[in-house]
Structure 1
Amino acid sequence: MLDIIGVFRGAETGGTHDIIWNVRFPRTLVAALVGIHLALAGALLQGVMRNPMADPHIIGVSSGAGLTGIAMIVLFPAYSYLMTPAAFIGALIAAGLVYALAWKNGIQPVRLILAGVAVSAFFGSGISAMLVFYSDRVDGALLFLVGGLSAKTWPHFQQLLPYTVIGGISALLLARRMNILALDEQNAKGLGLNVEAARVLVIAVAALLSASAVSVVGLLGFVGMIVPHVTRMLFGHDYRLLLPASALIGISVMTIFDTLSRIIFAPIELPVGILTGAIGAPFFIYLLRKKGSRV
Structure 2
Amino acid sequence: MVTNRFERQKRTAFLLFLFPLVIVLCLFGFFLSLKWGQASVSWSTFFEAITFQGQGREHLYIQTLRLPRALGTFLVGVHMALAGLLTQAITKNPVASPHVFGINAGASFAVVIGLLLFTNFSLTGAIYFAFLGAVLGAVLVFLLAGIDQKQHIQLVLAGIAIHFLFTSLTEGLIILNQQSTESMLFWLVGAVDQLGWYELKTILPWTFFGILLFAIMLPSFKLLVLDDDVAAGLGQRVMAVKVTGMLIVILLAGSAVAICGPIGFVGLLVPHIARSLVGYDLKVLVPLTALLGGMLLIYADLLSRFIAFPYESPVGIVTALIGGPFFIYLARKKGVTER
Q: TM-score, normalised by structure 1?
A: 0.95
Measured against aligned partners, the alpha-carbon deviations of 1:161-197 in whole angstroms (never above 9, x if no partner) come to 0110001121222222222011011211122210111
1:123 maps onto 2:151 in alignment: no
Task: Read off the aligned partner of 2:153 and give its amino acid letter.
Answer: V
Deviation at 1:244, TM superposition (A): 1.2
Match runs of 1:197-212 below 5 Å: 197-212=240-255
8 A Cα contact 1:36 1:251, kept in partner: yes
Task: Read off the aligned partner of 1:51 and give its amino acid letter.
Answer: N
Partner of 2:268: 225
Deviation at 1:39, TM superposition (A): 0.4
Q: Distance in 1 between matches of 2:148 and 2:277?
A: 32
Q: Distance in 1 between matches of 2:54 and 2:327?
A: 45
Unaligned 5+ segments in structure 2 are 1-42
Greater relative contact order (Cα < 8 A, sep 6+): 1
Deviation at 1:105, TM superposition (A): 4.8
Task: Read off the aligned partner of 1:116 and give its amino acid letter.
Answer: G
Partner of 1:66: 108
SS at match of 2:232: helix
Which of structures 1 and 2 has the bigger CA Rg?
A: 2
Task: Read off the aligned partner of 1:110 and give its amino acid letter.
Answer: I
Partner of 1:176: 219
8 A Cα contact 1:171 1:205, kept in partner: yes
Partner of 2:157: 114
SS at match of 1:98: helix
1:275 is matched with which residue: 287, 299, 318?
318
Q: Distance in 1 between matches of 2:136 and 2:176?
A: 24
Match runs of 1:21-32 below 5 Å: 21-32=63-74
Partner of 1:4: 46
Partner of 1:163: 206
Q: Distance in 1 between matches of 2:85 and 2:148?
A: 23
8 A Cα contact 1:171 1:243, kept in partner: no
**CA pair 131-33 structure 1, distance change in 2 beyond 3 A:** same
Match runs of 1:1-295 below 5 Å: 1-80=43-122, 81-103=124-146, 105-291=148-334
8 A Cα contact 2:91 2:147, kept in partner: no
Deviation at 1:74, TM superposition (A): 2.6
Unaligned 5+ segments in structure 1 are none
Query: What is the CA RMSD across the aligned residues, in angstroms?
Result: 1.6
Q: Distance in 2 between matches of 1:286 and 1:77?
A: 44
Measured against aligned partners, the alpha-carbon deviations of 1:68-96 in whole angstroms (never above 9, x if no partner) come to 01112233231323110110011012112
Q: Kindly tell me the number of residue pairs found equivalent between the two proteins.
A: 294
Q: TM-score, normalised by structure 2?
A: 0.83
User: Percent identical across equivalent pairs?
Assistant: 37
